[in-house]
Amino acid sequence: MSSNNIDWREIEEKWIKRWDEQKLFQADPEPSRKKYFVTVAYPYPNSPQHIGHGRTYTLADAHARYMRMKGYNVLFPMGFHYTGTPILGMSRRVAAGDKDLLDTFHNIYKLTDDVIATFVEPVKIASYFHNEIKQGMKEMGYSMDWRREFTTIDRIYSKFISWQFRTLQKKGLIVQGSHPVGWCPNDQNPVSQHDTMGDVEPDFTEYVLVKFVAQNDGLVVPAATLRPETLFGVTNMWVDPEVEYVEARVDGERWIVSKEAARKLEFLNHAIEIIKTIKGSEMVGWQLTNPLNGAKVPMYPASFVEADSGTGIVMSVPAHAPYDYQALADLKNDAAMRQKYDIATVAEPVKIIESEGYSGIPAAEAIANVPANSSDRLEKATSDLYSHEFYKGRMMQNTGKYAGKPVSAAKEELKAEIASSGLTSVMYELTNKPVICRCGTECVVKLLNDQWFLNYADKEWKALAHECIQKMDIVPADIRQEFDYVVDWLRERACARKSGLGTKLPWDPEWIIESLSDSVIYMAYYTIAKYVNDKTIPDTETISDSFFDYVLFGQGDAKAVAKESGVPAIEKIRAEFQYFYPVDSRHSGRDLVPNHLSFFIFNHVAIFDRSNWPRQIVVNGSVLMEGKKMSKSLGNIIPLRAAIREHGADTIRLAMLVSAEILQDADFSFDTARGIKSKLAGVFEMAEKVKNAKQAPAEQVEDRWLASRLVRTALQTAESMDRLRVREAIHHILYTLEQDLQWYDRRARAKGRENSPAVVSALREYVKAQVQMLAPFAPFTAEEVWERLGSKETITAAGWPSTDESKLDILAEESEFLAQSLIADIANIVKVTKIAPKKIVVYTGAGWKNNAYKTVLENIAAGRTNFGDMMKQLIANPETSRIKSDPNLVKKMQDDILSTPLEARSRRTALTDFDEASAIKDAAGLIAKEFDGAEVLVYSEDDHSKYDPKGKAKFARSFKPAVYME
C-alpha cells in the first residue's frame, strides 16, 4: 500500500477525537494502581513550536505512552508559561514596526496582518500562540491531561507562586543585596535565558582590575586579569594605538580606559566622569608602575587588544601567557613598528612559576607542544598551560613571601591582599557576548543594589541539591556530573524584576518574580489545577497560604482550612497531591541544565520533604535540520504544524527520535522522514493482508521461531525503553523486526507454504506485536492498524506485547540462527572462489566436538579463558580427551565463541541437546533456492557413508559446519 493512498490526516483527526471522547489520558488517583507522573517544560507562547521544539515533547510523550502500556496510571499534563519580559518586548517591537519580526510573522509563521495587529497587547500574543501550540500538541498526538492546563498569570497560580516565595523567605533562602546580573539597559531589567534572543543565558566572569600607575602624573591605568598571581611576571602593557581611550574620573581617581570600558564600569556602580579622550598611540612608551612590586613596565603597541574586552588595556606576562609571548616575539621581529614608536629594546619574559614538564619559558614550550598548523594554536596552548600551572605549579623565589606556595593557594591569598590594600578593583565581563535582549538591546553586566536574590550560594542548600542529584535517576547517567558542576558554581540569582508579566513579589510588590524562578515547582500545581478549572477551588481571595500548606505539606486542620478557603474538597485535593507526587520523570533539553533543571532541584529540596523530591530527570540534545543548526537566516525553521500537514504526525515523531540517542543532537532529515513514512505504509499493507486471518497453531520451526522472536524483541525493546534508549527501541521495532519478517517470508516461501493458515496467522500476530511496540512512538498508525485488525479496545488498553520468557523457543531460535549463519558462510565462499555451485555438501561436527564446545563455552561464560587450564579439563574427560591430538581446535572454538553474540552464547549454554543436521536439513530447500537450485546434502562428520571427496568433514566444528561445493 503506497503512503499516497493513506489519508494520514483523516486518521489523525479520527483518533484525536476518539481519545478525547474516551478521556483516555485523563488520570485520576487510583490507589490500587501504581502511578507515574511525567512532566516536560511548559512552553513559552511567543511563537509557534517548530520541529526543534518537538523532540523534547515527543520523547516525553513516548515515555508516558510506554508507561501506560506497562499498566501504570500515568499523569502527563501541560501548562503555559506567560511570565517574563519576552512577550512584552515582542509587543513593543510589533508596535514599533520591527521589520525583522514582521517578516518572521509573515514568512515563517504565515500570520495575517489582522492577527499581527492585535499583538500590540502582550497578552494577545501569548493567547494566540498558546492556542497554536496547544493545537499542535494535539495534532502530534501528545497524550496529555488537558483538564490540568493553566497559565502562569492565572490568579490562583500567582497565589501558589506567592506561597512558594514566602516559604523560601521563611527559610532564609531569599536575600536582598548587591550582586552582578545580566542586564538590559533598555528594559532596565535583569535578563536570563528566556529574555534573550536565541535563549542565551548571560554568563559572566569576575576579573581583578589591577591599578597600574602612569609615572608622569599619577594616572591609574587599570588592566583586567583572571590571574592576579602572575603580577610578579608583568613585563609590559599592551594598548591598541588606533583606539580612542578616555581619561575619566572614577570614584575620585583619574583612570585611563577604553570608552567601552567606561560604559561597563557605570553599570557596576562606579561614578564615572569623562574628562577627555586620548588616542592609544599617545600612550605607547609610557612607563607604568606595577602596584605589587614597584617594577617599571613600558606600554607597547598591539593591534590584538580589543577595546570592549576588559579595560581595553592588557597587562603582559609573556613567560606564562602564550598570547603575550607571541606578541612580544612579533614586536621583536617588527623593526618598522619599533622604529615608529621609538622602542629601543623589547622586554624579556620573567618566569615566576615552576611546574613539572616545563623547564624553560613555559609559554614558549606550551606553544611548541601544539601543532603549528592548528587553527587555535595559541588558544589551546593558553588553556593547557593555565590549567597545568593552576593545579601543578608553584611560585618561584622571585615572588617573595609567596615562594614555594601552590599557584592555586597563592592566587587567592594575593587577590585578597592587594584588594584590601586598594591596589585593585573588580570588573564583571560577559563571557558569551554579545547577548541580545529580546527587545534588541545588547546586554551588559550590572551590579544591582537592593535586588532580591535566591541564595543558591548557600552551602547547606547546595548540600541538599547534591544529595538529590545522587539519589535520583538521571538519563543519560553521564550528565550527572554536569548537574553537580552547576550546583557547585551557582551563586546568588536575581529572582525579580520591575517589568513584565508574572506574579508580584509578595512583600515588595514593586518587583515581579522572574520566569526562571516561578517555573521550578509548578509540577505540584498540576495536582491542583484540575480543581481550579472545574471550579472546585474558587478563584477568590479566600485562597491563602494555609490552603497550600495543607494541600502540599499536610499542615493545619483540614476542616478549618476548608472553611477558611471555601474549598470543602480540600482533603480530596490533598490526597491527589499525595498520590501523584513526587515527579517520576522530568524531561527537558540540555540547554536547561545550567538553569531551569538545576533550579528545579534546588527548589524541590528546599520546599519538600525527601519523599517528594523528583525521582528522575531526562535530558535530551537539540535538533539539527539536514545537518545544520536551525536559523531564520538559513530558512530551515519549519513550524511543527506545517510539518505535520506535509508529512504526518507519526512520521515526524519517528524521524525526530530515530536519528540519535537521547543526549546527541538529532539530525532531522526529510529523506529519513520519507523512508519512515514508507515503512508505516508497509505496516498498513501487511495489516490489510492478514486482518481476516484465523488463529492457527505453529506447524513448523520457522513459525515457532517468529513467535519467539516477537517475545524477545518485546523484551529487548522494553529494556531499551526502561533506560530511555529510544533510538535503539525504534531500531528494534522498525528494522530488526523487519529483518525477521523478511527471513520468515523466505523460509515459508522456500517450503511453498506462504499462504498456509499457520503462516498467515503468524503474520497477523507479528503485525499485532509490532504495532503494540510502535504505539508509544507512532500512536495514530498503531491505533488505526490495531482497530483494523479487529480489536474493540484501544491499543493503550491492550498494553505492551508479551514479555513472558517462558514463551521463548531457544531451540527454534538456534535452528534459524544456524541456517542464517550457514547461508552467509556459503555466500562468502562463493564470492571468494567464484564458484557457481551445482552441489553443496554441509558437514556438522562429530559428537565429541559438541561436548568439547560445551566445556569451552561454559568456561568462557564463567570468565575462565586460560588455554592451558581448558586443555587439562578437556583431556581429563574421556568424552573429550581426543582434543589432545588437535589442540588448535580449542583455540578455534574460543574464537568462534568470542565472535558469537552474547544472546546466542547464552542460548547455546541453555540448550541441552541440539541436532544441527536436522536444523540444516529443514533449511535445505531455502539454501538450494538461494544458490540457483544447487543440490544440498547434509552429513555428520561421524557418518561413515558421507560424500566427502576432499576430506572437508574433519574441519567441521560445533555451530560452524564445514562446506564443500562442486
CB contact at 8 A, 780 and 11: yes
CB contact at 8 A, 527 and 580: yes
Label residues 542-562 b or e (16+ Cβ within 10 Å = b). ebebbbbebbbeeebeeeebb
Rounded Cα gap, residues 747 and 740, in angstroms: 11
Rounded Cα gap, residues 589 and 223, in angstroms: 39
Task: With CA atoms as reference, report the closest residue to 906 among 723, 712, 737, 747.
Answer: 712
Rounded Cα gap, residues 170 and 606, in angstroms: 11
Location of C-alpha cell 500500500: 1
Task: With CA atoms as reference, report the closest residue to 395 among 382, 381, 385, 409.
Answer: 409
**Rounded to 5 degrees, what angle do the CA atoms 851, 855, 859 make?**
165
Annotation: binding site? 632
Rounded Cα gap, residues 210 and 222, in angstroms: 5
Specify the 3-state DSSP secondary structure of 300: strand
Task: With CA atoms as reference, report the closest residue to 411 among 395, 422, 434, 423.
Answer: 395
Helices 407-420 and 377-392: angle between axes, nearest 10 degrees:
90
Rounded Cα gap, residues 425 and 421, in angstroms: 10
Tell me the DSSP string of 529-587.
Answer: HHHHHTTSS-SSTT--HHHHIIIII--S-HHHHHHHHT-TTHHHHHHHHHHH-S-SEEE
Beta bridge pairs of residue 936: 840
Rounded Cα gap, residues 948 and 603, in angstroms: 77
CB contact at 8 A, 277 and 244: yes
User: What's the burial of 509, exposed, middle or buried (CB within 10 Å: 0-12/13-18/19+)?
Assistant: exposed
Residue 847 Cα to chain centre, angstroms: 53
Neighbouring C-beta atoms of residue 453, cutoff 10 Å: 23
Q: What is the 3-state secondary structure (H, E, C) of 846-865?
A: CHHHHHHHHHHHHHHHCCCC
Helices (H) and strands (E) in the chain, counts: 37, 29
With residues binned 3-state (H G I as helix, E B as strand, rest as coil), the percentages for the chain, rounded to 5, are 50, 15, 35
User: C-alpha dihedral over 795, 799, 801, 804, to 10 degrees?
Assistant: -160
- CA dist 41 to 290, 890, 900, Å? 52, 58, 44
Specify the amino acid at residue 567.
V
- Which helix (H) or strand (E) element contains residue 652? helix 649-658
Label residues 73-105 b or e (16+ Cβ within 10 Å = b). bbbbbbbbbbbbbbbbbbbbbbeeebeebbeeb
Rounded Cα gap, residues 754 and 760, in angstroms: 7
**Rounded to 5 degrees, what angle do the CA atoms 366, 370, 372 make?**
120
- Bond preceding residue 476 cis, omega within 30 of 0: yes
Annotation: binding site for ATP? 632
Terminal alpha carbon distance of the chain = 43
CA within 13 Å, CB half, 618: 27
Specify the 3-state DSSP secondary structure of 297: strand
